[in-house]
Chains A and B, each alone.
Chain A
Amino acid sequence: MTEEVKWEKTISDVNNEILVNLENPHKMFYVALATAVSVLLFAVGMVAYHTAVGPGMWQGFRPPVYWLVDITNFVFWVGIGHAGTLISAILFLFRAKWRNAVNRSAEAMTIFAVICALVFPAIHMGRMYLGAYWAMPFPNTNNLWVNFRSPLFWDVCAISTYFTVSLLFWYIGLVPDLASVRDRVSGIKKIVYGILSFGWRGTARQWHHYETGYGALAALATPLVLSVHSIVSWDFAMSLQPGWHTTIFPPYFVAGAILSGCAMVYTLLVPVRWMFQLEKFILDEHLEACIKLTLLTSTICFYAYSIEFFVAWYSGNVYEWAIFAKRATGPYAFYFWVMTFCNCIFPLIWWSKKMRLNKAVCFVVCVLINVGMWFERYNIILSSLVEDFLPGSWGHSEPGLWEIGLTVGSFGLFFTFFLLFVKFFPIVSLSEIKLIMPKPMSGHGKGGH
């Protein structure tokens, strides 16, 4: 970000123009919220029925395919959930200024995406009520705890840690902004926001501790971000399944997660920016920076996809190569090519700056990337499970309406949360965007730097 960004607004406009949305959102907001809530309610009904009847409801669970859309959605949402903390933590440490414009919504997106992600492993289990208990067996009358060697338990640890840390990070970031809101509103709202802002005053001393803590959190969150999807990838890589059992999985998954996360950030920001008239704060330059990061991770993914094929071939492992050959040419090749085109080919147009700045094109490609990333996980799960070692155990699978319903339902959950968030919380980090805006100097250079 060496280019100087041209700001039309000053920090005095920030609170006024951003927080006004809390009072008066666009009418499209209510349409969107109503849609999201009804989808969510429908999904809640499905989950309730599913809990009563059993996991047999998922038509895609056709042994040998014991996981399909459930874990696809899980990994997909966890992947989406990567961008937030990445943008807040890693880019914070790298002092990438553009993050300040988008980090709040990205972090919120992280939280809600991780919630969506957590739903799936919970409801896919055969006996979810026991799952909760075994993980925290209090009182532990069995003298037995969990298997710490299981990647699934690592996953539980990683995701819950990630969720907790992201939530803390997000909320700590929110505290000064909630104080800003508190200072704008009155009545019951003032009390609520007052409680939520913990009584933040904004003294320099507070800011001093705050900054240190925020930096420490960012330092902790950085390895966490990278580890979470590595651990998610071990959910696959720790088994012997051909196509899963590879060392490339952790970096490959992390890159994929960041790719989908950034694409999702963009996908969310463009309508939000329009809906809440934030064009003057979330500048085109910021969006372009996001696209550049997306392009970078897309090329990493491209590399990972290719090297995966190369290694499968070069290893001489019959099973491994068979899986990859079938991925590209077999009955499920469609998914493979969707994934390749969406994640690797389409983003290539962003090498042109014109395209990077064309928001319609970028929006479409970002949506396509998320479609592609969904199919990447679907493809990895399905193709490795469906035809592994013994041909006698081979099968085939395809999801049914049930899975589609639950997938759509998870979007309902996500957007419900997100829309409620934009209604009640500052969409842009007020304090942080002020930092990248022109400083309110007197012009005399007196006492300044």
Chain B
Amino acid sequence: MLILNRLLSSGQSFISSTAKKWLRITLTVLVFSCLGNSGTANAWWFWTPGDTVDNVGFKPEQPIPFSHKIHAGDRKIPCEYCHSSARRSFSSGIPSGNTCMGCHKIIKTDSPHIKKITAAYDNNQPMEWVKVHDLPDFVRFAHKRHVQGKEQGGAGLACQECHGKVEEMDVVEQGAPLQMGWCIGCHKDRKAPLDCLTCHY
């Protein structure tokens, strides 16, 4: 049942999501009633908290196919050029429209995707990116504490340690499980604080 569900869930979009949802519900009900044990497992799958699944490799479609490979890899733009508040805020920051337009007023202005950005910028519309590395709202992850160097009491981590080799990704995908156990493992290894209040408040 689990496998069935996974197969169905991770499949490409050959059927509509509603249909798939109903199919899944029907299947679940069917299997649940037929096979007690795997039905229980299924219930477990559905009702346990979200982070029982690691989502590694999650690779959503973004409004425009921004390639980190070109920007961060080929062109070697530092991460913090765009994600500018990583060193001073909890949030690393998503680059604003004017950051994009800073270069793309001149560069590749004829690309249809750049045109889309330009149009949005001119219309005062922000880009709506889909979050890839998304922590639950009850987790307070301070980018600055992880990115800052040792002299500032930070961990001095490279972005890639959690986000994966973004500079090699055409489409960004989730690089690490981002589950609590994964956080805790690293915190244990590095003798970082382990009290609950470090992240949850």
Contacts and interface: CB of A to CB of B under 8 A. Distances in A.
Instruction: Please indicate whether A and B come from the same complex rather than being unrelated chains.
Output: yes
A142 interface: yes
B181 interface: yes
A203 interface: no
B181 A142 contact: yes
Interface stretch (B47-55, B65-73, B148-156): B47-55
B180 A130 contact: no
Nearest to A132: B47
A141 B177 contact: yes
Interface residues of A, number: 12
Contacts of A138: 44
A130 to B, nearest CB: 7
Nearest to A140: B181
Contacts of B157: none
A129 B181 CA distance: 20
A137 B180 CA distance: 13
Interface string A134-150: 00011111111000000
A133 interface: yes
Contact of A141 (B44, B47, B179): B179
Interface string B38-80: 0000001001110110100000000000000000000000000
B19 to A, nearest CB: 27
A123 to B, nearest CB: 15
Nearest to A129: B47
A405 B167 CA distance: 62
Given A142-B179, A143-B180, A143-B181, A130 B49 contact: yes
Interface in B80-133: none
A52 to B, nearest CB: 15
A141 B180 CA distance: 6
B47 A133 contact: yes
B172 to A, nearest CB: 22
Interface string B158-183: 00000000000000000001011110
A142 B180 contact: yes
A386 B28 CA distance: 46
Contacts of A133: 44, 47-49
B185 interface: yes
Contacts of B52: 139, 141
Contacts of B44: 133, 138
Nearest to B196: A144
A136 to B, nearest CB: 9
Contacts of B51: 141-142
Contacts of B47: 129, 132-133
A129 B52 CA distance: 14
A143 B184 contact: yes
B50 to A, nearest CB: 10
B116 to A, nearest CB: 38
Contacts of B184: 142-144
B65 to A, nearest CB: 31
Interface of A: 129-130, 132-133, 137-144
Given A133-B48, A141-B180, A143-B184, 15 more contacts: A133-B44, A133-B47, A133-B49, A137-B48, A141-B51, A141-B54, A141-B177, A141-B179, A141-B182, A142-B179, A142-B180, A143-B180, A143-B185, A144-B181, A144-B184
28 contacts: A129-B47, A130-B49, A132-B47, A133-B44, A133-B47, A133-B48, A133-B49, A137-B48, A138-B44, A139-B52, A141-B51, A141-B52, A141-B177, A141-B179, A141-B180, A141-B181, A141-B182, A142-B51, A142-B180, A142-B181, A142-B184, A143-B180, A143-B181, A143-B184, A143-B185, A144-B180, A144-B181, A144-B184
